[in-house]
Chains A and B, each alone.
Chain A
């Protein structure tokens, strides 16, 4: 189910611009790892290299290795499409398919992967919606459009869609930044439940959120505008927020810059 991610010497570019430089870290399975850092430090870019979404951007390319257990995502012959079927992603703004119903949204990934019987699909959709704590709110209107839900519900629908295909890893790119505090709390509770089954990596601008949901926290920073982002340190969340080993981390979390 959940796999370990082992990144070594990863550098990512947009065209000639080096966005992140020489990042190495390990993400433990069945845990939540949070990425924090100032805007432009490359934490979202780094997240997108973990399921090869980075290269979708024109000019995007990557050097280095990302091992998922013992498989290098960037080895020659690896199909980015199958990487993304193994490493799911949830985005900053909820993005359910606007032309699909709630049911179709959750089933969308399954339909890409093969043919299922109707009863099988129904089972998986129900399980995924329950897994995303959304089932009770939508079970009577599965055929209504997904775009008709509230922002928080839409984001949980996107999580249901992502976990329906049973990925090894779930990447979340600021999943709560477009949501109100109550919806945010619902997602944070959900993340706590999901880490029993998945390896979760979450990018967040909200340091309290990182402190609340994550087991380990990575701090990214950049030397200046136009400079590549770098990993400053990664450690147990408790340690990062109480006694970080690098001064820049302490300055950042105590609000002295960024």
Chain B
């Protein structure tokens, strides 16, 4: 009788114990992999920052000019005299011009693709835009130098005629290898990425938010203003930051188009100026040890500017988080 009560197979494990040990191991391996990659990323970031800082400090202590205010980049003579004032100005101004042109155009294209164009047209347009994002920057640079620059003189003369009195749009008949030209070229380069990201965000606007506006008697534009743009706001900011990151760091296209000097022009249209990335690319080849450190110091500043810009964008997004579409 006693044997009847016993389980039929005493070797069988209790029901709740896992019969598949592999699942546990898989979890552990995956945890290790993902944790490892996370830590590796932080280590690489810290290593870059440390490398930049160490080399930059040694360069700045060798600088016989003022690192922040000197309008000169002379690292082949000893002692070295260099400063980043022109580069800060040129980088920020060309990027601002690029953003002012690119973001409205890109949001417009994205809205056209996601909300206005019939599907037969939207798909090829979206495809072409994505294709543009894959064009190498040197190709943009060559196109900019050989085609865009000569064709901008007319526009710049016109701007000079009507807005020349502002000094900002004064133009003195040089070849327009200027910061404004760089801004236009950068805008063209970042429009695809800003468009692609915005378009994806606009496509994800929940149907029910758009119908809410429609049911109140909103026109198509009013639906976009009431539902699509507010929902896509943080997405547009993220997309713009991706574009801005590219604009701030763009090297070859800027180096190809700009005719650099170490002056800050009142006019955006006259040639001259420089950006961090362009300056590094132009000097790196002939630079020896200390001169390279000077370039690295400027690279560190660009790194910091990029971090600040991204931080600011995150703040903007976080500040209105409780109003974001994610809450609904």
The residues of A with any CB-CB pair to B shorter than 8 Å are 51, 53, 56, 58, 81-86, 88-89, 91, 93, 95-100, 108-109, 112-113, 145, 147-148, 158, 161-162, 165
Contacts and interface: CB of A to CB of B under 8 A. Distances in A.
Interface in B201-259: 206, 208-209, 211-219, 222, 226-227, 230-231, 233
A93 B215 CA distance: 14
Contact of B230 (A51, A56, A97, A161): A97
A17 B318 CA distance: 45
A112 B215 contact: no
A121 B121 CA distance: 42
B44 interface: no
B322 interface: yes
B230 A99 contact: yes
B164 interface: no
Contacts of A83: 217
A100 B212 CA distance: 13
Contact of B216 (A93, A99, A147, A161): A161
Q: Which 10 A-B pairs have the closest CB atoms?
A: A85-B217, A99-B230, A109-B216, A89-B215, A98-B328, A95-B208, A84-B217, A95-B212, A147-B327, A147-B328
Interface string B66-108: 0000000000000000000000000000000000000000000
Contacts of A86: 217
A81 B212 contact: no
Contact of B217 (A93, A97, A148, A165): A165
Given A97-B212, A97-B226, A81 B217 contact: yes
Contacts of A100: 230, 323
B325 interface: yes
Most B Cβ at <10 Å: residue of A81, A86, A95, A161: A95
B324 interface: yes
A158 B327 contact: no
Contacts of B216: 84-85, 88, 108-109, 112, 161-162, 165
B327 A98 contact: yes
B208 A91 contact: yes
Interface size class of B (residues with CB under 8 A): 20 to 34
A162 B328 CA distance: 19
B218 A53 contact: no
B229 to A, nearest CB: 9
Contacts of A95: 206, 208-209, 211-212, 328
Contacts of A84: 214-218
Given A145-B322, A148-B327, A98 B217 contact: no
Nearest to A101: B323
Given A98-B327, A99-B231, A145-B327, A93 B208 contact: yes
Given A81-B217, A84-B217, A97-B227, A112 B222 contact: yes
Nearest to A92: B208
A14 B118 CA distance: 17
Contacts of B322: 145, 147-148
Given A147-B323, A161-B212, 16 more contacts: A53-B214, A53-B215, A58-B119, A81-B217, A84-B216, A85-B216, A91-B208, A97-B209, A97-B213, A97-B226, A97-B230, A99-B325, A108-B213, A112-B218, A147-B328, A165-B217
16 contacts: A81-B217, A84-B214, A84-B215, A89-B215, A93-B208, A95-B328, A97-B226, A98-B230, A98-B323, A99-B233, A99-B324, A100-B230, A112-B218, A113-B217, A161-B216, A165-B216
A54 to B, nearest CB: 11
Nearest to B215: A89
Contact of A91 (B212, B218, B226, B233): B212
A86 B219 CA distance: 14
Given A84-B217, A112-B218, A145-B322, A158 B212 contact: yes
A245 B233 CA distance: 55
B215 A96 contact: no
A112 B212 CA distance: 13
A221 to B, nearest CB: 26
Contacts of B320: 99
A95 B212 CA distance: 6
A97 B231 CA distance: 9
A157 to B, nearest CB: 11
A224 to B, nearest CB: 28
B204 to A, nearest CB: 13
A69 B90 CA distance: 67
A165 B215 CA distance: 11
Interface in B276-328: 320, 322-325, 327-328
A56 B211 contact: yes
B226 to A, nearest CB: 6
A158 to B, nearest CB: 7
Nearest to A88: B215
A108 B211 contact: no
B230 A91 contact: no
A62 B214 CA distance: 18
